[in-house]
Amino acid sequence: MTTQAQILALALCLVSPALRAQGTHPITGRRIAPVMSADGADWLERSERESEERPKLALQLLGIQPGMLVADVGAGSGYYTAMLARQVGPSGKVFASDIQPGMIERLNARLRREKIRNVETFLATETDARLPPSSCDLILLVDVYHEFSQPQAMLRNLRAALKPGGRLVLLEFREEDPKVPIRPEHKMSVDEVRAELEPEGFRLERVLPDLPWQHILIFRK
């Protein structure tokens, strides 16, 4: 098991110097978290991640089907991207974007290594994930939304990329649970997420409580 101290140390230290967020959210006053550095990407790929966070269960609960077009925004080194690519299969596609070139390089290396060919990668900007309009059945943000430096602009952009009826899914560490061993600015409560997403045209459909540390929040456009 990764110890709580290790997790805290990582969350404290591995912050991208070029992407230190200073702002607060205009509606909730939430302090926006700094972006996790690509130098810390090994932590995203740690062997304990499956037992600690249960990512396979998360994707199972989302009902990812062959042929779907899914976007993994803030994909990091591609831990979720690779699983998504296998689930949507050759008739489906995954768009994966991240704001850090270092993460995109690691992601592309993983795709080459694992011979995954149904993923298109994009270098995002702080306001634009670079996804084609009305293209996605589902957009997944795993431990990412709380790092968006311009969350409102980004949400408008993501909304435009969803197909009618498409889902936006956030996995966020539960702020309501003091036992979740993550720094406070990297956690969010259900109320906070709702207060920020609903004004941008998203409706909270379900909150799944099944994961050990994270909420799964499912929104419809």
Ligand X SMILES: C[S@@+](CC[C@H](N)C(=O)[O-])C[C@H]1O[C@@H](n2cnc3c(N)ncnc32)[C@H](O)[C@@H]1O
The reply on whether position 124 binds ligand X by CB under 6 A is yes
Residue 88 contacts ligand X per CB under 6 A: no
Q: How far is the CB of 122 from ligand X (least distance, A)?
A: 9
| SS3 of residue 207 by DSSP | strand
Residue closest to ligand X, measured at CB: 76
Of 4-12, 72-80, 106-114, 162-170, which segment contacts ligand X by CB under 6 A? 72-80
CB-CB contact of 207 with 54 (8 Å): no
Position 155 contacts ligand X (CB under 6 A):
no
* Amino acid (one-letter) located at 29: G
d(CA 65, CA 88): 6
Nearer to ligand X, 126 or 177 (CB): 126
User: Residue 85, interface with ligand X (CB under 6 A)?
Assistant: no
Q: Per DSSP, what are the bridge partners of residue 45?
A: none
| β-sheet bridge partners, residue 206 | 218
Least distance (Å) from ligand X to the CB of residue 128? 8
Q: Where does residue 126 rank: exposed (0-12), middle (13-18), buried (19+ CB within 10 A)?
A: middle
Residues in touch with ligand X (CB under 6 A) = 35-36, 44, 73-76, 79-80, 97-100, 103, 124, 126, 129, 142-144, 147-148, 154
